């Protein structure tokens, strides 16, 4: 197995620039790794060696010809399977889209191609990104590389496990209520949900349009910064895309200074409900930040108590509307019942056969929340809670530059543990959801080993458009962690058994 795969993306990018390694060599090394371990990990729904190697070859040729290339040109990457790709199937983890090859590339994929980054394959997710474990993928769950009997987080468990098992140096995720950050927490990796609108959603199969955001998945903070700089920027194809640039995340990650910064600890996201070791690791990191010259303050966000309820009304409401497009007419599955059915009967039979249990549950819940007589009591109230949460953040950010909390209450659980109990599953998102409701950026970084000898993580939050602060603080904390631990968090993960 090539040692190359264990390096950070930033290092690999420099090796490519200096000609110390070719993109073909690097891409092949990752494809070999996938052949060896993905039978056990199941990060991918689709691996595309031919397309990836062709893109790699093209970059190598252009570099040899002296063409000026993007900083990350030649660096391979994995993409979550809810982003459209014209050269690979896009299923969003659902049977209703099995075998669909989209007619257009998502903007994020287009930007990766323009940067010359070979796409290795499409990563697994809970069906339509609804879940916290990948157990709701119609194609079977991904496994946590730290313990194959435990969940890799969700919905982006394919993207978290693909970087945690060294099958890709970088991956793309999407985060509607924590689908980038929770998987990062349980796999000892890094993931950022940028400010709403910082990255285009064009070609992202929508779950909840007012909450969805695409972002980077990596093994360290600088790598995530490099990737966010590739995929961010205004897109006329997305009417919610921010018109202004948020600046360079890479520069922010290289500042390595937090002196005088005010770090706010969110009172409601600590203590009760959070595992003791997760909390202990969190408090240790606060000490580190204090030692680095940051000021620790406490902030209170009382409306967070209602965040999960608001989220699980808004999300299903928007999802029930977004998923109406899967109607057996223009693309995807069609199931025709016997007799002479009308189109409505065909639609209902198709959606019964094509959707899994969590998707049905949420569509039915969303239909309920939006139906007349209940609209004001539920959906209307949820939208008001959203305002209260934004106000809580405003007050908190008046006292602090960056807010912190554990990314989630508990380390990775075992498969099947929460499958029959939707409410228990939803509680995993308690710390990540408020950022989506308010549209602010959030980052999860590794924070040491906690309960069951599994990774834990710390979440950083910044005001809208201030994503750079996350990278600035995250990089400092990561550097201090590596000094204390003597190695990277991911280097604590057990070696996977490799099939040759």
Partner 1 sequence: MSEITPDLVRHLANLARIDVTDQEVDLFAGQLGLIVDSMAAIKEAVAGDVPATSHPIPMANVYREDVVEPSLTQAQALSAAPDSADGRFRVHAILDEE
Give residues 439-498 in contact with partner 1 (rule: CB under 8 A): 439-440, 464
Cβ–Cβ under 8 Å, residues 462 and 198? no
Give residues 410-429 in contact with partner 1 (rule: CB under 8 A): 422-423
Judged by CB under 8 A, how many residues of this single chain contact partner 1?
Answer: 74
Residue 364 CB, nearest distance to partner 1 (Å)? 5
Q: How many CB atoms lie within 10 A of CB 282?
A: 24
Task: For partner 1, give the closer residue by CB, 245 or 283.
Answer: 245
Give residues 330-389 in contact with partner 1 (rule: CB under 8 A): 330-334, 336, 340-349, 351-352, 355, 357, 360-361, 363-365, 367-368, 371, 377-378, 380-388
Verify whether residue 160 is a known catalytic residue: no
Residue 218 CB, nearest distance to partner 1 (Å)? 25
Tell me how far CA of residue 471 lies from CA of 138, 223, 287, 477, 479, in angstroms. Answer: 35, 10, 19, 10, 12
CA distance 234 to 43: 30
Give residues 196-255 in contact with partner 1 (rule: CB under 8 A): 196-197, 210-211, 236, 239-240, 242
Residue 87 CB, nearest distance to partner 1 (Å)? 14
Residue 362 CB, nearest distance to partner 1 (Å)? 10
Task: For partner 1, give the closer residue by CB, 285 or 436.
Answer: 436
Task: For partner 1, give the closer residue by CB, 148 or 381.
Answer: 381
Cβ–Cβ under 8 Å, residues 80 and 156? yes
CA distance 341 to 334: 12
Task: For partner 1, give the closer residue by CB, 247 or 422.
Answer: 422
Q: Which of 22, 94, 155, 405 is catalytic?
A: 155
- Integer-rounded Cα Rg, in Å, for the chain is 21
CA distance 48 to 113: 14
Give residues 259-318 in contact with partner 1 (rule: CB under 8 A): 303, 305-306, 309-310, 312-313
Verify whether residue 132 is a known catalytic residue: no
Of 217, 221, 164, residue with least CA distance to 42: 164
Q: At what angle do helices 276-291 and 467-485 cross, to 10 degrees?
A: 100
Verify whether residue 200 is a known catalytic residue: no
Task: For partner 1, give the closer residue by CB, 104 or 414.
Answer: 104
Q: Which of 80, 110, 111, 418 is catalytic?
A: 80
> Contact between 320 and partner 1 (CB under 8 A)?
yes
Q: Which of 23, 137, 160, 179 is catalytic?
A: 179
Task: For partner 1, give the closer residue by CB, 377 or 484.
Answer: 377
Q: What secondary structure does DSSP assign to 245-270, as a single string?
A: ----HHHHHHH---TT-EEEEEGGGS
CA distance 469 to 174: 20
Cβ–Cβ under 8 Å, residues 256 and 225? no
The 103-142 site mask, x for binding partner 1 (CB under 8 A), equals xx--------------------------------------
Residue 351 CB, nearest distance to partner 1 (Å)? 4
Give me 144's structure tokens. 């946590």
Task: For partner 1, give the closer residue by CB, 182 or 379.
Answer: 379
Give me 368's structure tokens. 């309920």
Q: What secondary structure does DSSP assign to 458-495, as a single string?
A: EEEE--TT-HHHHHHHHHHHHHHHHHHHSS-GGGGSPP
Active-site annotation, residues = 80, 155, 179
């Amino acid at each position: 197995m090539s040692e190359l795969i264990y390096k950070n993306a930033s290092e690999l990018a420099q090796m490519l620039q200096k000609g110390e390694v070719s993109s073909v060599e690097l891409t092949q090394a990752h494809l070999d790794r996938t052949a060896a371990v993905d039978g056990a990990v199941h990060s991918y729904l689709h691996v595309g060696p031919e397309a990836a190697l062709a893109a790699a070859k093209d970059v190598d040729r252009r570099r040899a010809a002296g063409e000026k290339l993007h900083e990350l040109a030649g660096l391979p990457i994995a993409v979550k399977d809810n982003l459209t790709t014209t050269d690979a199937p896009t299923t969003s983890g659902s049977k209703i889209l099995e075998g669909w090859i989209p007619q257009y590339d998502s903007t994020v994929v287009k930007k990766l191609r323009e940067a010359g980054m070979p796409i290795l394959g499409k990563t697994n997710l809970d069906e339509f990104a609804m879940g916290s474990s990948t157990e709701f993928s119609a194609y079977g769950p991904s496994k946590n590389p730290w313990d194959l009997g435990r969940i890799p987080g969700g919905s982006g468990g394919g993207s978290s496990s693909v970087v945690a098992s060294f099958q890709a140096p970088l991956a793309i995720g999407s985060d509607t209520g924590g689908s980038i950050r929770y998987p990062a927490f349980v796999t000892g990796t890094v993931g950022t949900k940028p400010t709403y609108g910082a990255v285009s959603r064009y070609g992202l199969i929508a779950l909840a349009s007012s909450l969805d955001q695409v972002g980077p998945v990596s093994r360290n903070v600088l790598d995530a910064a490099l990737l966010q700089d590739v995929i961010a920027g205004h897109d006329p194809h997305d009417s919610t895309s921010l018109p202004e640039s948020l600046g360079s995340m890479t520069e922010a990650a290289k500042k390595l200074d937090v002196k005088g910064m005010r770090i706010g600890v969110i009172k409601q996201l600590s203590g009760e409900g959070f595992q003791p070791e997760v909390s202990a690791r969190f408090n240790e990191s606060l000490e580190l930040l204090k030692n680095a010259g940051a000021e620790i303050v406490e902030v209170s966000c009382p409306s967070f108590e209602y965040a999960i309820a608001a989220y699980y009304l808004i999300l299903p409401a928007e999802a029930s509307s977004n998923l109406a497009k899967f109607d057996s007419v223009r693309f995807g599955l069609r199931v025709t019942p016997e007799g002479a059915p009308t189109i409505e009967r065909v639609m209902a039979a198709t959606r019964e056969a094509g959707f899994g249990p969590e998707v049905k549950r949420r569509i039915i819940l969303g239909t309920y929340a939006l139906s007349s007589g209940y609209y004001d009591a539920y959906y209307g109230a949820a939208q008001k809670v959203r305002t209260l949460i934004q106000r809580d953040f405003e007050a908190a950010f008046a006292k602090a530059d960056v807010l912190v909390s554990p990314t989630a209450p508990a380390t990775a659980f075992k498969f099947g543990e929460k499958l029959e109990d939707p409410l228990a599953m939803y509680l995993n998102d308690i710390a990540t959801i408020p950022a989506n409701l308010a549209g602010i950026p959030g980052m999860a970084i590794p924070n040491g080993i906690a309960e069951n000898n599994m990774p834990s993580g710390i979440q950083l939050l910044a005001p809208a458009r201030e994503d750079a602060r996350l990278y600035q603080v995250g990089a400092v904390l990561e550097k201090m962690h590596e000094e204390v631990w003597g190695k990277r968090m991911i280097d604590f993960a057990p070696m996977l058994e490799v099939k040759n």
